[in-house]
Amino acid sequence: MGRGSWTRQSLNSLVVLALCAVTACHRSPTEPSELMLADGRWTGGNACLSVTGAGCDLVVGCGHGRFPKPAIRGDGTFDVEGTYRIEAGPVSQDPAPPAHFSGSVLGTGVTLKVIPSDPLPPATYSMGPAAPGSCAVACV
């Protein structure tokens, strides 16, 4: 691979791998190993997940979820509480309804399961890395 063929995604992956290696070297084998979900943007199946230091935003069609940046357990899974609502038409000023988010990170992919409070059904999304940016809510 030539010097000019490195992509931003390749460099980001290399940085994450290096951070994981450094973290692993400073822990004992008996300590739990948790990393935070990496900043970035993932898309797939009409879903868009944007992760920043301030938290996570999920957009799926007219649905919009928010949750804190989760810690990734040693087996690549995570669970976190957040909110999820459908944003079609006038948006209520009331707080968004609660939802549970769980998922896994495998390689550069993220699988995210959303369990909104009633009446919305649970849904699972598989996403891969995307260009940097935010996720826009498609419905207004």
Q: What is the pLDDT of residues 89-98, one digit of tens each?
A: 665 657 889 9
pLDDT at 92: 61
Q: Within a 13 Å sphere around the CA of 85, how many CA atoms are in the beta-carbon half? A: 14
Tell me the sheet residues that pair with 51: 40, 56
pLDDT at 26: 40
**pLDDT higher than 80, residue 83:** yes
Higher pLDDT: 84 or 13? It is: 84
Q: What is the pLDDT of residues 104-122, one digit of tens each?
A: 999 999 999 999 987 889 9
Q: What is the pLDDT of residues 14-59, one digit of tens each?
A: 334 434 443 444 444 444 556 898 899 999 988 999 999 999 999 9
Taking the C-alpha atoms of residue 127 and residue 27, their distance in angstroms, rounded to an integer, is 30
What is the average per-residue pLDDT within 77-105?
86
pLDDT at 18: 38
pLDDT at 129: 95
State how far the alpha carbon of 9 is from the alpha carbons of 12, 15, 51, 127, in Å.
5, 10, 15, 15
pLDDT at 104: 97
pLDDT at 140: 59
Residue 132's contacts (CB-CB under 8 Å, 6 or more residues apart) are 8, 40, 41
